[in-house]
Amino acid sequence: MASHFILIDTENLTKKFGEVTAVDSVTLSVKEGEVFAFLGPNGAGKTTFVRMMSCLISKTSGYGRVGNFEIGNKSDQEKIRRMVGVLPENVGLYEELSPYDNLDFYGRYYRLSEEKRRDRIEFFLKMLDLWDRRNAAVATFSKGMKQKLAIARALIHDPQVLFLDEPTANLDPEASKMVRDFILELKKEKRTIFLNTHLLDEAERICDRVAIVKTKLIAIGSPQELMRSLQGKKVRVQVQQVSDIIVSELKNAGYRVEEVHPDSLVISVNDFTRDNPAILKIIEASGGKVEFINEISSSLEDVYLKLVKAE
């Protein structure tokens, strides 16, 4: 990463609506240039967290900071709003206006000069393949086109931090890919992107780190770290013919045999480097003929489901 400056920082950040705790003591930090995601089911507090961090709603307790500004400090709130861009779950564009006029309106709101507005509007509409439709009413646009325009709106004032709340929700596969590709383009620009999603393959593909949340923070790390550390290590051994003796000898040696098939075994291991040769030796000493052995990698979905169900 280009910089290690902490751009988003929270400590025991909490939001209650009456008796209901929507966000429960969340502590995390996100570095400048990082793409970070909240993964969680509906009602997990993802949107509430983003709304607090972008100063759209107040916190109940705890600490939250964006850049050098504190979210609970009234004099800092306007500064935070100017340094963040937000894509809400419901995009809320002015549908009777054109894409150009929508972006121009928000550029004026952020007090951009006429020249800067013109340059940035042209840049984003061309990048998003909307330039040819710049004067058409937004009401005539598809969901994917509206979503892209809403992302451009969030970026019009060149924010340091971009909060994207379910950016591909309710989109067809083609529109989802369109939006995902645009996020990857933004990632190349080293923007700090905070993503809310329940689409695990999306997070796995584009995020540096993810946090699994269910009101509380359950786990945090890179997708690869979570897949490695939380699901355990397994190998699949293809054998010409599996016998009871092979299974028995593996168990006697302390291995947990998870699955037994006529021509293969799935075995839990602690260390691939140490255990794989030992497993091969046991099988061959028991009269088996090993054809190949490979590591089984857990998916982020496996980890997510295991952790969320445990809560």
Q: Name the residue range of residue 100's domain.
A: 6-221
User: Is 303 inside any structural domain?
Assistant: no
> What's the chain's average pLDDT?
91
Provide the 3-class DSSP secondary structure of residue 233: strand
Domain count for the chain, please give it.
Answer: 2
CATH number of the domain within which 81 lies: 3.40.50.300
pLDDT of 232 higher than 70: no
Phi/psi at 225 (5° precision): -65, -45
Residues found in the chain:
311
How far is the C-alpha of 102 from the C-alpha of 87, rounded, in Å?
14
- Answer whether residue 248 shows pLDDT above 60: yes
38: part of which helix (H) or strand (E)? Answer: strand 35-39
Distances (CA, A) of 158 to 4, 22, 82, 149: 20, 30, 9, 15
pLDDT (average), residues 65-77: 95
Mean pLDDT within 196-222: 91
Q: What is the pLDDT of residue 173?
A: 86
This prediction has a pTM of: 0.80
Q: Which residues contact 46 (CB under 8 A, 6 or more apart)?
A: 38, 40, 165, 196, 213
Question: Which of the pair, 270 or 149, is modelled with greater confidence?
Answer: 149
pLDDT tens figures, 164-192: 998 887 778 887 888 888 888 888 888 89
Q: Last residue of a domain, which of 221, 254, 269?
A: 221
What pLDDT sits at residue 202?
Answer: 85
The 3 state secondary structure assigned to 83-143 is HEEEECCCCCCCCCCCHHHHHHHHHHHCCCCHHHHHHHHHHHHHHCCCHHHCCCCHHHCCH
Domain boundary among 221, 254, 277: 221
Domain closes at, from 191, 221, 251: 221
Cα–Cα distance measured from residue 229 to residue 204, given in angstroms and rounded to the nearest whole number: 15
Domain harbouring 256, CATH code: 3.30.70.100
Q: What is the pLDDT of residues 273-293, one digit of tens each?
A: 889 999 999 999 999 999 999
